[in-house]
Chain A
Amino acid sequence: MEFGEESSPALAFEKNAFELTVEDVYDISYVIGRDLLKISSTGEEVSDLQFRIVRVLEMFETLVNKYNLSVEELKMERDNLKAELDRIIREGSSSSGQTGQTVGANQLVVDLNDPNRPRFTMQELKEVLQERNQLKAQLMVAQEELQLYKSGILPQSEPTMVDVDLSTPPATEDSSSTVNEKTTIGKLFSFRRK
Chain B
Amino acid sequence: MEGLTLRVEHLQNENGKLQNLFQEKSNINEDIRQEVSRLSSENSVCRCDLHLRVHPKQTPALPKEYLGMLEYKREDEARLIQNIITDLKPKGVAVNVIPTLPAFILFMCVRHADYLNDDNKLKSLMNRIIQGVKKVVLAHQKDVESLSFWLSNTYQLLNCLKQYSGEEQFLKQSTPRQKKNCLQNFDLSEHRQILSDLAIQIYHQLISVMQKTLTPAIVPGMLEHESLQGISSMKPTGFRKRSSSLYNDSETYSISSILQELSVFYSAMSHHGMEQSLTKQAVKQLFFLIGATTFNQIMLRKDMCSCRKGMQIRCNISYLEEWLKENELQSCGAIDTLRPLAQAAWLLQVNKSTDEDAKEIAEKCTELNPVQIVKILNSYTPIDDFEKRVTSSFVRQVQSFLQEYEGATQLMLDTDYRFQVTFPFYPSSTALESLQVPSSLNLEFLTRI
Partner of B97 from the list A8, A33, A74, A77 (CB cut-off 8 Å) is A33
Tally of A interface residues using CB under 8 Å: 38
Instruction: Collect the chain A residues with CB atoms within 8 Å of residue B423's CB.
Output: none
B242 interfacial by beta-carbon distance below 8 Å: yes
Once the chains bind, are B431 and A77 in contact (CB under 8 Å)?
no
Q: Which of A135-194 contact B (CB under 8 A)?
A: none
Stretch of A22-30, A88-96, A104-112, A115-123 on the interface side: A22-30
For residue A27, which residue of chain B has the nearest CB?
B96
Q: Which of A44-75 contact B (CB under 8 A)?
A: 44, 47-48, 50-51, 53-55, 57-63, 66, 70, 73-74
Partner of A73 from the list B11, B175, B428, B429 (CB cut-off 8 Å) is B11
Instruction: Collect the chain A residues with CB atoms within 8 Å of residue B99's CB.
Output: 33
A19 interfacial by beta-carbon distance below 8 Å: no
Instruction: Collect the chain A residues with CB atoms within 8 Å of residue B11's CB.
Output: 70, 73-74
Once the chains bind, are B96 and A29 in contact (CB under 8 Å)?
yes
A25-B93, A29-B93, A77-B3 known; A48 vs B434 contact (CB < 8 Å): yes
For residue A69, which residue of chain B has the nearest CB?
B11
Q: Which of B1-37 contact A (CB under 8 A)?
A: 1, 3-4, 7-8, 11, 15, 18, 22, 26
B98 interfacial by beta-carbon distance below 8 Å: yes
A101 interfacial by beta-carbon distance below 8 Å: no
Once the chains bind, are B96 and A7 in contact (CB under 8 Å)?
no
Instruction: Collect the chain B residues with CB atoms within 8 Å of residue A81's CB.
Output: 1, 3-4
Once the chains bind, are A47 and B97 in contact (CB under 8 Å)?
no
Instruction: Collect the chain A residues with CB atoms within 8 Å of residue B247's CB.
Output: none
B271 interfacial by beta-carbon distance below 8 Å: yes
CA distance A85 to B241 in the complex (A): 44
A42 interfacial by beta-carbon distance below 8 Å: yes
Q: Count the A-B residue pairs with Cβ separation under 8 angstroms: how many? A: 89
Instruction: Collect the chain A residues with CB atoms within 8 Å of residue B18's CB.
Output: 62, 66
Instruction: Collect the chain B residues with CB atoms within 8 Å of residue A100's CB.
Output: none
Q: Scoring B residues 402 to 446 as 1 if CB is less than 8 Å from chain A, else 0, what string do you get?
A: 000000000000000000000000001111001110111000000
Instruction: Collect the chain A residues with CB atoms within 8 Å of residue B22's CB.
Output: 59, 62
CA distance A78 to B4 in the complex (A): 7
Instruction: Collect the chain B residues with CB atoms within 8 Å of residue A77's CB.
Output: 3-4, 7
CA distance A8 to B288 in the complex (A): 29
A5-B239, A62-B22 known; A44 vs B434 contact (CB < 8 Å): yes
Once the chains bind, are B93 and A74 in contact (CB under 8 Å)?
no
For residue B98, which residue of chain A has the nearest CB?
A33
Once the chains bind, are B15 and A57 in contact (CB under 8 Å)?
no
Instruction: Collect the chain B residues with CB atoms within 8 Å of residue A26's CB.
Output: 91-93, 96
Tally of B interface residues using CB under 8 Å: 34
A37 to chain B, nearest CB (A): 9
B390 interfacial by beta-carbon distance below 8 Å: no
CA distance A70 to B8 in the complex (A): 8
A30-B97, A54-B94, A66-B15 known; A43 vs B429 contact (CB < 8 Å): yes
Partner of B240 from the list A8, A54, A58, A62 (CB cut-off 8 Å) is A8
Instruction: Collect the chain B residues with CB atoms within 8 Å of residue A23's CB.
Output: 91
CA distance A41 to B18 in the complex (A): 37
Once the chains bind, are A47 and B96 in contact (CB under 8 Å)?
no
Once the chains bind, are B7 and A29 in contact (CB under 8 Å)?
no
A42-B431, A74-B4, A77-B7 known; A58 vs B241 contact (CB < 8 Å): no
CA distance A8 to B4 in the complex (A): 36
Q: Among A25, A41, A58, A62, which residue has the most Cβ atoms of chain B within 10 A? A: A58
B242 to chain A, nearest CB (A): 6
Instruction: Collect the chain B residues with CB atoms within 8 Å of residue A48's CB.
Output: 434
CA distance A6 to B240 in the complex (A): 7
A36 interfacial by beta-carbon distance below 8 Å: yes
A32 to chain B, nearest CB (A): 6
A25-B93, A29-B97, A57-B93 known; A74 vs B8 contact (CB < 8 Å): yes
For residue A71, which residue of chain B has the nearest CB?
B11
B148 to chain A, nearest CB (A): 13
CA distance A55 to B428 in the complex (A): 23
B95 to chain A, nearest CB (A): 8
For residue A47, which residue of chain B has the nearest CB?
B434
CA distance A30 to B272 in the complex (A): 9
CA distance A82 to B163 in the complex (A): 65
Instruction: Collect the chain A residues with CB atoms within 8 Å of residue B242's CB.
Output: 8
Partner of A61 from the list B98, B435, B440 (CB cut-off 8 Å) is B440
Q: Scoring B residues 82 to 107 as 1 if CB is less than 8 Å from chain A, else 0, what string do you get?
A: 00000000011110111100000000
For residue A25, which residue of chain B has the nearest CB?
B93
A47-B435, A51-B436 known; A7 vs B240 contact (CB < 8 Å): yes
A-B contact pairs, 10 of them (CB 8 A): A8-B241, A27-B96, A30-B96, A43-B428, A44-B434, A70-B15, A74-B4, A81-B1, A81-B3, A81-B4
Known: A43-B429, A58-B439, A77-B4. 10 other contacts (CB 8 A): A25-B93, A27-B96, A42-B175, A54-B97, A57-B93, A58-B93, A61-B93, A61-B440, A63-B15, A74-B7
- Interface of A toward B, CB cutoff 8 Å: 5-8, 23, 25-27, 29-30, 32-33, 36, 41-44, 47-48, 50-51, 53-55, 57-63, 66, 70, 73-74, 77-78, 81
